[in-house]
Amino acid sequence: MTARCAQRCILPPGLLHRLARSEEAALREAALNALALDGRFRLARAESAASSLRLSRPVTFARAGGQPQRTIYDQQGSESQTPGAVVRVEGQAPCGDQAVNQAYDGLGATYSFYWTVFERDSIDGAGMPLLGLMHYGRRYPNAFWDGAGHMFFGDGDGRILTQTAAGIDVIGHELTHGVTQHEANLTYSGQSGALNESVSDVFGIQVKQHALGQDVHSSDWLIGADIAGPVLRPALRSMKQPGTANPHDDQPADMNDYVPGGDVHINSGIPNRAFYVVATTLGGHAWDAAGPIWYAALADSQLRPNATFRDFARITLRHAQQTYGAASDQAHAVQQGWEAVKVAL
C-alpha cells in the first residue's frame, strides 16, 4: 500500500516524509508520529472509498435546511476513531476550550457557505450532521476528514502545525472532501486525485473568504496560513503562486512542471492556479461566478471518477458557456484560467 494519506489529510505525507529526515530531533519525531497515526486509517478509508458510489443529490422531506447540526467531541489525546465526550452541541454557548469553539465556528462557516451560495444542506445535501473530534492524538500535526462523517483535529506540534481548528479554510477544505465524495467520488490518485485536492482548496478558500467578507483581491489565496507552524510559514499552499507558500513547497504552477506520478497534493497546484486566474479575472467575490462554475462541474454527471485536468477544464468551460453565454466574460475567463496553467481545452 502506498504512503498516501487516504483519509484526506490537510498535510500531505510526502511533506511529512521529508520532515522526518530533519536533523532536528523534535521535528523528526513529530513527523514520524504523524505518519504512523495517519497510516492506521488507510485501509479503512480505502475500503470505504471502494464501496462508495457516486450519489445523486438526496431529497429529504423532513428538513427544510439552513441550519447546521454540529456536535463537538473531546478525544483527550486518544487515537481512537470512536467519538469521545460531547463538549458542545448545536445552539450551545461557547465553552472554555478555544479549540472547540474554533471548530464549532469553522464547521458553521462551511455549512453557511454551501447553504447560502448553493442551497446545499450540509455535506451530503440532506442535512448530514457535522461532527468534530478535537484534541486527537498527542500534539498531532494534522487534520482530516475520515470519509465517514467525522473531522478529526490535531492540536499540532507547534513546529509543523499549530492548532488545526484555527483554520477556517482547512475546515472548509476537509469537509469539501465529503462533498466531492457524494458528488463525483474522484479517484484519489493521478490527475483525478489532484483534482480532488484542488476542489477542496478551491472551496476551502471560498469558505474563508465568505466568512471574512473578502473579495478576490483582498484574499491572500493562501491555504493553511492560520495553522502553519514556523517550519511551514507563511502557509501550506498558495493558489496564486503554487510552489512559493513555504520553503518545502514543491507544487508546479503549470503543466510544464507537472510531476508524473507525483503526490496528489503536489499537482493540485495546477488546477488551483487555474481557479485563481478565473476568479481574479472576473473580480468581485469568488462565489459570484467562478465558484458556481466549479461547483456545477463537480456535480456534472459527465465528470468521471478518473477525470483528467483536461476533462474537468472542458466541463467548466461548458458550464460557463451554458450559464453565461459562449462569448461571455465568464467563458473567456475560464479559457484564460486553463490557458494560464497550460491545460489544453
Give the catalytic positions in this structure: 174, 265
Query: Using CB atoms within 10 A of its CB, is residue 86 exposed (0-12), middle (13-18) or buried (19+)?
Result: exposed
Please give the grid coordinates belonging to residue 21.
529526515
| Contact status, residue 264 vs residue 189, Cβ threshold 8 Å | yes
- Residue found under cell 502506498: 2
Angstrom distances, CA of residue 48 to CA of 112, 115, 181, 270 = 27, 26, 11, 28
Query: From the CA atom positions of the chain, what is the Rg in Å?
Result: 19
Angle at which helices 269-282 and 290-298 cross, to 10°: 140
Distance CA 56, CA 67 (A): 22
Distance CA 53, CA 150 (A): 19
> Which H or E run contains 130?
strand 130-134
Q: Residue 234: is the preceding peptide bond cis (ω within 30°)?
A: yes
Please, what's the largest Cα pairwise distance for the chain?
58
Q: How many CB atoms lie within 10 A of CB 304?
A: 16
Three-class SS of 197-263: HHHHHHHHHHHHHHHHCCCCCCCCCEECCCCECCCCCCCCEECCCCCCCCCCCCCCCCHHHCCCCCC
- H-type alpha helices, the chain: 13-19, 25-39, 42-51, 98-118, 168-183, 190-212, 264-267, 269-282, 290-298, 309-324, 329-340
Distance CA 261, CA 104 (A): 37
